[in-house]
Each structure stands twice: as C-alpha cells, then as structure tokens.
Structure 1
Amino acid sequence: MQQLRHESANMAKKIEIIEISQRKLLGKDLDSCSPEELQDIGNQIETSLSNIRARKTQLFQEQIEQLQEKETLLLMENARLAKQCGAQPFQQSNQVVSYLSSCSKSSDIVETDLYIGLPQMRCL
C-alpha cells in the first residue's frame, strides 16, 4: 500500500511537471523562466515547427501526386468518351482556360444561348 502511494505521488509530480512544461511551450507562465530556459523553450518550439512543416510538405506532396494520378485517369476517360462520341478530345486543360480568358477580355457582351456539347473555340 505504501508503494502504491509513493507511485501515485510520483505520477502526480510528473503530471504537474508536464503541465508546467506545456504551459511554458504555449507561452504562459514565462515570468519565472531564466534566459537559458527561454532559449531552450524557443529551440524546442523551432524544432517542433520544423517537424510540422516537414510533415505538412510531405502531405501536400502526397496530395499533389494523388491529384495528378486522378487527372491522368480523368484525361484518359475523357479521351475514351470523346472517341466513343466521335468528338475531338481536348489535348490540354489550358485550352479551356485560355478560351474563357480570351472571351472575357475581348468583349463585354454576354452570350445567353444554351449549347449542349463541347464549346466552340470562338468568341463573340
């Protein structure tokens, strides 16, 4: 029973130390810190931030790769469907963007006609 009380007291002390450390890492209760402690806290935060940024970069790279794979599959599906319909598939998605931007720059007229199918590569 004595040993359990001793372990419980040790655990409570460790929890208190961890909570104090956490508050300091969050920028709270820094009044009692020495310059060396503040430097150590700053170094820990910089290391953590570096790790977070590296992980974030890795996740973004993985997402980019997944989206590029998905884009490739969609382009292949688009080409297959265009071939099945007997239409010419778009070679690059930039064609649509350049078409839309050139149309918006060339006139202030709004076209209200509804067309079904691929857009014609012309502007009013």
Structure 2
Amino acid sequence: MVRGKTQMKRIESNASRQVTFSKRRNGLLKKAFELSVLCDAEVAAVVFSPSGKLYEFSSSSMSNIIERYQRKAKDPGSSAETTENDLQNLKGNSLDMMVKKIELLDISKRRLLGEVLDTCSIEELQSTQNQLERSLSRIRARKLMQNQILKGQTEQLKHKEKKLLDENRKLRAKFQNDELEPLKSVTEPQEVPRGRGLDVETELSIGCPRRQRLYIDPHEDCLSIH
C-alpha cells in the first residue's frame, strides 16, 4: 500500500518527531554510503540532532572533504558550473522521483495481488487489507446495481413477450374464424319453400278400384280426384 504524502512541516509530537528523526537520519547516512560506493564519489554528511548530538558520515577523511569544499566555494569560476550542476541535479531528482513512484505503484500492485507480503509490517498489512475491503465493497455495490438493472430489463422483456403472445393468440383465433366462415355457408342446408300445389296425400285401400272422377273446384285453382 502506498503511504500518504507527508506534509513538510514540524512534527508537534515529541515521540513521533524523535522516531522520524532516527529513521530519516539512518536513511540519509545509508544513501550517502551507497552514493560513495556506487559512484566512487567523495561524500560527507553531517547531522545534528535537536539535542545537539552529532551524527556524521564521510567516504574519506571528513577534514579533507571540508577543506576541498571550502576551496571550491571560494573559486569564482565555479558559480556557473554549480548552476549547471544544480539544473542537472533537479532534472535527475525529477527522474528519480518518477522512477520511485513507479516502483511504489508496482509494489502496491504486487501487495494487492498477495505478493511480497513477507517484508510488510503490521501497519502496511492492515492498510492493504483496508484498501482491499473498500475495493470489495465498491465492487459488490456495483454488482448489485448491475443485477438490478438486468432484473428490470428481464421483467420488461417478459412483459413484452406476454403481450406478443396474446396478440399472436388473437390473430390466430381471428384467422381460424375467417377460414371456417365460408365452409359453414356451403355445408349449411338451404330451406326449400313449400308450395300449396305440391302437397300430396296418399291413401291405401283394399278391394276393387273405384271409378274416379276428375273434379275441378271453381273456388280453388287445383284438381281433385274422387
């Protein structure tokens, strides 16, 4: 987990100030030693604690380095070179800061993935755990919101499907009625009008047939046989 940026102001707590002094003093002297070994440079570092205690480091004789510094500071031609060197140092410091940030981000990522945890302190492990829990809470909230959106879309699709099925059922019923209507008119028997002159009465008799007469009824337009 990447620590928060420390504000550059005096630490009010005496205990915290003493702890920070010890850590950063050791880090400064360690960096001075590494610089002298890696780059074959003459390095001298002098630190006085708030109580006046002296801490120092020198890659060679401290007095020789101080005398060399004094001679260099008195040389008037060294000012331009010093300015150029300062600019180069600023550029180098910016590059070093960027490289350091990249390294910190890489370490943070590896810790979140569960790697390089053996070198972490209790505070760093707790900070990493808190960050993971916050990330997990945000992921769960996002997942819940996505599930609700999908549920709403599913309900809308089901309602639309039901509506389309009802319309399909109505259209199918209407289509079947339209097909059966012509068949019903063809197969239905037609009523034949019955005329008065078409009525026929039959009578069965046993014996000799009688002579029949043709009789015309003047009141009715029909024939009768007697």
TM-score, with normalisation over the residues of structure 1?
Answer: 0.64
Q: 2:98 maps to which residue?
A: 11
Q: 1:74 maps to which residue?
A: 161
CA drift at 1:4: 4.6
> Where do 4+ consecutive residues of structure 1 move more than 4 Å?
none
Cα distance in 2, alignment partners of residues 21 and 43 from structure 1 = 13
Q: 2:140 maps to which residue?
A: 53
Q: 2:124 maps to which residue?
A: 37
Give the residue type in structure 2 aligned to 1:32. Answer: T
Q: Write the deviation string for residues 13-33 of structure 1: whole angstroms up to 9, x where unpaired.
A: 111100001111111001111
TM-score, with normalisation over the residues of structure 2?
Answer: 0.36
Q: Which has the higher strand share?
A: 2
Q: Write the deviation string for residues 97-119 of structure 1: whole angstroms up to 9, x where unpaired.
A: xxxxxxxxxxxxxxxxxxxxxxx
Give the residue type in structure 2 aligned to 1:72. Answer: H
Match of 1:85 among 172, 177, 187: 172
What percentage of residue pairs aligned between the two structures are identical? Answer: 39
Match of 1:28 among 108, 115, 132: 115
Q: Which has the higher helix share?
A: 1
CA drift at 1:70: 0.8
Secondary structure in 1 matching 2:117: coil
List gaps (5 residues or longer) in structure 2. 1-86, 175-226
Cα distance in 1, alignment partners of residues 140 and 131 from structure 2 = 14
Secondary structure in 1 matching 2:118: coil
Q: Write the deviation string for residues 78-124 of structure 1: whole angstroms up to 9, x where unpaired.
A: 1101111119xxxxxxxxxxxxxxxxxxxxxxxxxxxxxxxxxxxxx
Secondary structure in 2 matching 1:86: helix
Secondary structure in 1 matching 2:160: helix
Cα distance in 2, alignment partners of residues 21 and 47 from structure 1 = 15
CA drift at 1:55: 0.4
In the alignment of these two chains, the number of paired residues is 87
Cα distance in 2, alignment partners of residues 86 and 12 from structure 1 = 77
CA drift at 1:5: 4.1
Cα distance in 2, alignment partners of residues 18 and 76 from structure 1 = 55
Give the residue type in structure 2 aligned to 1:18. Answer: L
